[in-house]
Amino acid sequence: MPADQWLCSPFPEERIMVAADESRLDDKEMERLDALLSAARSFHYMNFIVAAIALALSSIERTEAFQLPIGGLAIPPTETAVGAYILSICLAVASASLFRQAEPWMKKDPRRPPFAWIALGAADPNRGKVFLWVLVPVILTSVAVSMTLDQKVPHSGLLLPGFFLVGFPLIFEHYFSLIRTRTDHRGGSAPFSIWLLYCYRLMRQLLLVGAFLFPVLAAVRQWRGPMLTASAICFSAVVSLMLLRLAGGFTYRWIDKFGGRFGFPTHSQHYD
């Protein structure tokens, strides 16, 4: 199979193959593909607008509330900055998710040139490059909001939680699918220890998202106490899970035997 028939995933074990003899997309399917890519592009470009506004606001020293152009609602500068940050992350998640829905079908599209979206580039689309482009406005917004909040965000920057939040849906989809089907990443049946390992990774990612996001939300004065408490709880839970994971590394064979009671295989062919 030629190399250009493969679409690479950020996970080494995943590969989406489009066979050369499979039928091309028909007109209605191409319209739906265009709709997915068009929506992903719209969210991406909207995110650049949010980043530009955040950068503009960060260059202005404001002590009074920010007045919305519609409705006359006044929002304090701190809340405005945090809102722009959350909005940028949501737009990035939407753009990346729509692209992932369209990606498996793009190799079947016989039309040239490719869809007019800067993230796709001039050559065959690469998922890593697309995701990097999707993260660009998040990075710009994070820098702008960091300058606006100054010292109001304790113990955490904004780039790291932004990356965690944008990547979480991809991580969640990957591990939740393995957990639901009780399979390992190589396609075989997962023993109980491997199934618990995937549960651990999914929970760890979720807790890290909270651990880094809650200090950002703590910049809002009314939320400061509860958010810092929630962040400390998440960090403590992550440490506890890591200790359990370390202990599981020495007892996985016993865990697999115990998992046989629940219908899991008691041994994996991928063990050394």
For residues 230-253, give the mean pLDDT. 88
- What is the pLDDT at residue 50? 94
Mean pLDDT (the chain, rounded)? 80
- What is the pLDDT at residue 12? 42
For residues 38-52, give the mean pLDDT. 95
Judge whether residue 5 has pLDDT over 80. no
- The predicted-structure confidence for 189-228, as pLDDT tens digits, reads as follows 888 988 999 999 999 988 988 888 888 888 888 888 898 8
- What is the pLDDT at residue 70? 54
- The predicted-structure confidence for 84-141, as pLDDT tens digits, reads as follows 999 999 999 999 999 999 988 888 888 767 788 999 876 667 888 899 999 999 999 9
The per-residue b/e assignment along 66-100, b for 16 or more CB within 10 angstroms, e otherwise, is: beeeeeeeeeebbbbbbbbbbbbbebbbbbbbbbb
- What is the pLDDT at residue 134? 94
Q: How confident is the model at residue 36 (pLDDT cuts 50, 70, 90)?
A: very high
Could you identify the residue written with the tokens 């957990």?
A: 179
- What is the pLDDT at residue 69? 57
* Distance in angstroms (rounded) separating the CA atoms of residues 188 and 208: 29
Could you identify the residue written with the tokens 């609602």?
A: 73
Could you identify the residue written with the tokens 């599209």?
A: 109
Q: What are the start-end ranges of the H helices in the chain?
A: 27-58, 77-106, 127-149, 159-181, 192-217, 224-259
Chain centroid to CA 219: 23
The per-residue b/e assignment along 222-251, b for 16 or more CB within 10 angstroms, e otherwise, is: eeeeebbebbeebbebbeebeeeeeeeeee
3-class DSSP assignment, residue 232: helix
Judge whether residue 163 has pLDDT over 60. yes
Phi, psi of 176 (to 5 degrees): -65, -35
Percent of the chain with pLDDT over 70: 79
Judge whether residue 260 has pLDDT over 90. no
For residues 174-195, give the mean pLDDT. 87
- What is the pLDDT at residue 48? 96
The full set of domain ranges for the chain reads: 1-152, 155-272
